[in-house]
């Protein structure tokens, strides 16, 4: 029993997921920079790509961060974000 427990802890800690957040309001490179900055501050975010062409942010982060945390971060820039997709990463 104990063995299983210790085996599971690292799996939970290492679990990561990829999210795509649509930010339709972005219209120039300054917007993407602002959104990028805001999302970078979210604890657990490991990598981040914000593209103007697709008006979206692609994030790799620690598993289990609530949607609201990301959307609130986007909101600090004055834009509204919408969670477009979210899936677990295996590695
Ligand atoms: Cu702009």
Distance 70 CA to ligand 1 centre (A): 19
pLDDT(12) > 80: no
The answer to whether 22 touches 84, Cβ cutoff 8 Å, is: yes
What DSSP line would sit under 12-61, residue for residue? HHH-EEEEEEE-TT--SHHHHHHHHHHHHTSTTEEEEEEETTTTEEEEEE
Place of tokens 């979206």: 56
Segment 49-61, tens digit of pLDDT: 999 999 999 999 9
pLDDT(62) > 70: yes
- Mean predicted lDDT score pLDDT of the chain: 91
Query: What's the whole-number mean pLDDT along residues 1-24?
Result: 76
Q: Residue ranges per domain, the chain?
A: 15-89
Distance 17 CA to ligand 1 centre (A): 28
What gap in Å lies between CA 52 and CA 56, rounded to an integer?
7
pLDDT(6) > 70: no
Distance 76 CA to ligand 1 centre (A): 14
Task: Enumerate residues with CB within 5 Å of ligand 1 (an ion).
Answer: 27-28, 30-31
Q: Which residues contact 42 (CB under 8 A, 6 or more apart)?
A: 61, 65, 69, 70, 73
pLDDT at 91: 65
Fold classified for 15-89 = Alpha-Beta Plaits (3.30.70)
């Amino acid at each position: 029993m104990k063995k299983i427990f210790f085996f599971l802890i690292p799996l939970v800690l290492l679990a990561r997921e990829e999210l795509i957040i649509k930010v339709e309001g972005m219209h120039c490179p300054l917007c993407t920079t602002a959104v990028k900055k805001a999302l970078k501050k979210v604890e657990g975010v490991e990598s981040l790509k914000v593209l103007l062409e697709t008006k979206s942010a692609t994030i790799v982060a620690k598993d289990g961060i609530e949607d609201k945390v990301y959307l609130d971060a986007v909101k600090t820039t004055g834009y509204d974000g919408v969670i477009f997709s979210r899936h677990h990463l295996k590695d």
